[in-house]
Amino acid sequence: MASARLDIQPIEESPSLKSRTYDALKAAIGAMKIYDQDAELRLDERALSLQFGVSRTPLREALAQLEQEGLVRIAPRRGIYIVRKTKAEILEMITVWAALESMAARLATQVATDADISSLHNLVDTFSSAALGEHMDEYSDANIRFHAAIINLSGCKLIADITNGLFMHVRAIRQRTIFERDRARRSIVDHKEIVEALEARNAERAERLVREHTLRLRDHVEQFVQLD
Amino acid sequence: MASARLDIQPIEESPSLKSRTYDALKAAIGAMKIYDQDAELRLDERALSLQFGVSRTPLREALAQLEQEGLVRIAPRRGIYIVRKTKAEILEMITVWAALESMAARLATQVATDADISSLHNLVDTFSSAALGEHMDEYSDANIRFHAAIINLSGCKLIADITNGLFMHVRAIRQRTIFERDRARRSIVDHKEIVEALEARNAERAERLVREHTLRLRDHVEQFVQLD
DNA sequence: ATCTGGTTTCTGGCATACCATATAACGAAA
DNA sequence: TTTCGTTATATGGTATGCCAGAAACCAGAT
C-alpha cells in the first residue's frame, strides 16, 4: 500500500564475487553425483575462473573456504579435488546428526508452542496415506523436511547450522540409500511417535525416539550402503 | 642406530603461508582477551601482512577461513573485526557441546577399552584432593582435559573436531566464569559418577550424566556470566 | 623395447597493482 | 559556530603476472 512518507528499505549490499562464487561452487558440487564411478572430481582454477567469468583471486578464496568445510581438497601444485567422504565419515556424520537432533527434540519440548508442534502433523500425515512404493523421492523430501522442522522447533540456530553442513555431505549418498518399503513404513511410525512425545512435552522420550530413529538410519547405511 | 642402507624419511612438505598465517592468526585471537572493555577488535589487512611478513593474498585467504569459522567478520570497505559472541550464542554452543559429549559418552561405553576408561581416573583423582580454592586454573585445565578425554574415547573424530571449534569460542569467556568452590566440588562428584557409569558400560546413565553436567554449566553461565 | 635424464607444460602459491566505496578531513557558506 | 558539500584517505575487492614444484613428455642410450 502507498504511504504519505518515503518508505525506505535498507540497501542490500551486493554480495561479493567471492561469496557468489562460493555459493555457485557449492551448489554445483551439491548437484553433482560425486559417487558415480566416472565422476570428474578434478577442478581447475583457471578453467573455473573462465567459466564463472571471475578472476582467480575470488575463486581461490571461495575454494579455500570449501576446503575448510571439507568439500574439496587442495593439493599444492597437484590439483583441486572434490572429496569423497568415506563410509566411516558418513557414519560419523549421521551419529552427530543423531546427537544434535535428539537434543533439538529435547529443547523443542521446552520452547516450542503447541501450534508449532501441531504443524508437524502436516509433514507426517501427508505420507502416511501416500503410495509409498512409487513416491520415494517425495517421501525422502518430506522426511528431510520433518527432521529440519524439529531442529527449527528447538530454536537453536547453531544446531541448524551444523546439521545443514552435514546434510550437504549426507545428501550425496542419498541416491545410494536403499529405501525399502518396510523402512519407509517404519520411519513413518517413528515420526508419529516423535510427534506424540513432543506434544506430550516428554523430553526424555522425544529425545530417545529421535536418537534411536536416526541411529537406525546409521546402522542401515552401515549395513547396506557401499561407497568405494 | 646406523644401518647399511639409506633410511629415507618422507619429506614433509612445508605448510603454505596461508595455513601458517591461519594458525598464527587463530592462536593470536585465542590468546586475546576479546571480552575486555578496551579490547582492540579491529584488524588491518595491510598492517597484518607487514607484521607477518606475508603479502595480502595468503593473509586474506586465512581471514576468509576464519570468517567462515565465525571468528572474524569482514565488512567490505569497513574493516575486519574479531567477533564477540553474544551470550545467546555461547549458550547455544554449550548446548551443542552437551549434545555431542553425551553422545560421545554413549559411544564410549560401546567402543572404549577398560584400560582407556580407567585412565580417566587420573584426570579426576588429581583434583579430588587438591586444594580447590587456590588452584582454579589447574582445575579448569584438568576439567577441560577430562571432557576432551571422554570425547576421544568415543572414537568419533567428527565430534572431536566440532567441539574443538566450539571450545575456541567458549574458552574466551572462561575467565569470566565464576568458579565458586561449590561448583568445582560438585563438578568433581559429577565426574566421578560419569566414570563409574562408563565403567559399568551403562550407556543411558553415562549419557544422561554428561548431558546434565554440561547443561548445568549452561544454566550457570546463563545466570552468572555477563558479557555485554 | 626399455630405461634414464632432461625439458616442457601444467597448476597452485604468492606478490603486487589498481579499483570502488566508506569514512574522515576539510573548508566555505550561512 | 554550525552545516553541508567537496576532497582526501583508508580499506577491502579484484585482476594479473610471475614463481616453484609436479607431472607429462621426449629423446638418446642401452
**What are the residue boundaries of the structural domains of chain B, listed by start?**
17-82, 87-224
- The pLDDT, as a whole number, for residue A131 is 52
Contact A71/A26 with Cβ under 8 angstroms?
yes
Residue listed under C-alpha cell 590439483: A79
Give the other-Cβ count within 10 Å of B159's Cβ.
Answer: 24
pLDDT grade for B183, boundaries at 50, 70 and 90? confident
Would B17-82 and B87-224 be classified into the same CATH topology?
A: no
- pLDDT, one tens digit per residue, over A138-186 is 777 788 899 999 999 999 999 999 999 999 888 877 766 666 667 778 8
Contact A169/A176 with Cβ under 8 angstroms?
no
- The pLDDT, as a whole number, for residue B134 is 58
Q: Report chain B's mean pLDDT, rounded to a whole number.
A: 88
Flag whether residue A76 sits within 8 Å of chain B, measured between CB atoms.
yes
- The pLDDT, as a whole number, for residue B2 is 62
Å between CA of A42 and C1' of C10: 14
Flag whether residue A16 sits within 8 Å of chain B, measured between CB atoms.
yes
- The pLDDT, as a whole number, for residue B179 is 61
- Express as a percent the part of chain A with pLDDT over 70: 86
Query: Which of A125-139, B106-120, B129-143 ranks highest by mean pLDDT?
Result: B106-120
Q: Give me the CATH topology for the region B87-224.
A: Four Helix Bundle (Hemerythrin (Met), subunit A) (1.20.120)
Compare all CA atoms of chain B with the CA of A65 and give the residue at the minimum distance: B65
- How many Å lie between the alpha carbon of B100 and the closest alpha carbon of chain A? 6
User: Which of these, A169, A163, A172, lies nearest to A145 by C-alpha position?
Assistant: A163
Of A14 and B90, the structure prediction assigns the larger pLDDT to B90
- pLDDT, one tens digit per residue, over A40-65 is 789 999 999 999 999 999 999 999 99
Q: Give me the CATH topology for the region B17-82.
A: Arc Repressor Mutant, subunit A (1.10.10)
Ordered DSSP codes for A1-39: ---SS--PPPPPPPPPHHHHHHHHHHHHHHTS-TTSTT-
Flag whether residue A105 sits within 8 Å of chain B, measured between CB atoms.
no
Cell readout for B211 is: 548431558
Smallest Cβ distance to B159: which of A76, A96, A102? Answer: A96
Contact A40/A33 with Cβ under 8 angstroms?
no
Flag whether residue B162 sits within 8 Å of chain A, measured between CB atoms.
yes
- The pLDDT, as a whole number, for residue A150 is 98
Cell readout for B81 is: 573485526
Average pLDDT of the residues in B21-36: 90
- How many Å lie between the alpha carbon of B133 and the closest alpha carbon of chain A? 34
Smallest Cβ distance to B61: which of A64, A103, A162? Answer: A64
- The pLDDT, as a whole number, for residue B122 is 86
Residue A192 pLDDT greater than 60, yes or no: yes
Verify if strand D has an atom below 7 Å from the CB of B48: no
- pLDDT, one tens digit per residue, over A64-109 is 999 999 999 999 988 999 999 999 999 999 999 999 999 999 999 9
- The pLDDT, as a whole number, for residue B15 is 85
- The pLDDT, as a whole number, for residue A129 is 55
Contacts of B57 (CB under 8 A, 6+ apart): A57
Cell readout for B35 is: 571480552
Residue B131 pLDDT greater than 70, yes or no: no
Residue A130 pLDDT greater than 60, yes or no: no
